[in-house]
Structures are given as structure tokens and as C-alpha cells.
């Protein structure tokens, strides 16, 4: 026990240390979810158990990670299409070129 720290401070410190590798996603999503469910309680008088909030966090993060993987696949496919389709082709023989970019 560090000098001057209460039991609650030690508990919070231990929680944050256990979340350090996942903190940017998991920890912030927990905080946002607590705020969200607090507002639902205040404005709609609907309470949620802590376990249901944690389940929501897990489901939300799984969905978010899956969406990120789908985005990566779509982006990679799109980049391949762009690279393969960008190529200069010589105009047809009876094609009139009108330069309008002041070059």
C-alpha cells in the first residue's frame, strides 16, 4: 500500500492498471456507457444493472472491431481497383483534344 492512498484509490489504480493494454477502447467505452445509462435513468427512469452495462460494452466493442475489419477489407479492395484502373490511354485516332487547364 502506497503511503497516503485510500483503499478506494488503490482499487481504482488496480482497475486502471488491469485495463492499461485495453484502456483506449475498453476503459473509455465503459465510461461513456456509464454516462449514457445515467442519462437514460435520469430522463426515462430506466435503470440498468452493472452487468448489463458491461455486456453492452463488450457487444459494442466487438461490433466496432468487426466494422473496422470490414472497412480494412473494403479499403484494400478499393485501393487495388484504383491502382489498376489509373492508367493513361492514348486517345483514339479521330479524337479531338481540347486543353482547358491553361497549359
pLDDT digits (tens, 9 = 90+) for 40-65: 999 999 988 888 888 898 899 889 88
- pLDDT: is 29 or 78 the higher one? 29
pLDDT at 2 over 60: no
Predicted pLDDT at 97: 72
- pLDDT: is 50 or 81 the higher one? 50
- pLDDT: is 66 or 78 the higher one? 66
**Torsion over CA: 58, 45, 11, 28 (sign):** positive
pLDDT at 31 over 60: yes
**Are 28 and 60 within 8 A, CB to CB?**
no
Predicted pLDDT at 93: 76
- pTM of the complete model beyond 0.85: no
Predicted pLDDT at 92: 74
pLDDT at 19 over 80: no
Concatenate the DSSP letters of all residues of 36-103 into one string. Answer: HHHHHHHHH-----HHHHHHHHHHHHHHHHHHHHHHHHHHHHHHHHHHHH----PPPTT------S--
Amino acid at each position: 500500500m502506497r503511503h497516503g492512498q485510500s483503499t478506494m484509490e488503490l482499487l481504482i489504480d488496480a482497475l486502471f492498471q488491469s485495463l492499461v493494454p485495453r484502456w483506449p477502447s475498453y476503459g473509455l467505452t465503459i465510461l461513456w456507457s456509464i454516462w449514457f445509462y445515467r442519462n437514460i435513468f435520469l430522463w426515462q427512469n430506466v435503470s440498468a444493472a452493472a452487468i448489463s452495462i458491461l455486456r453492452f460494452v463488450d457487444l459494442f466493442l466487438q461490433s466496432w472491431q468487426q466494422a473496422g475489419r470490414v472497412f480494412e477489407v473494403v479499403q484494400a479492395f478499393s485501393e487495388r481497383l484504383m491502382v489498376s484502373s489509373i492508367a493513361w490511354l492514348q486517345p483514339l485516332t479521330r479524337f479531338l483534344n481540347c486543353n482547358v487547364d491553361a497549359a
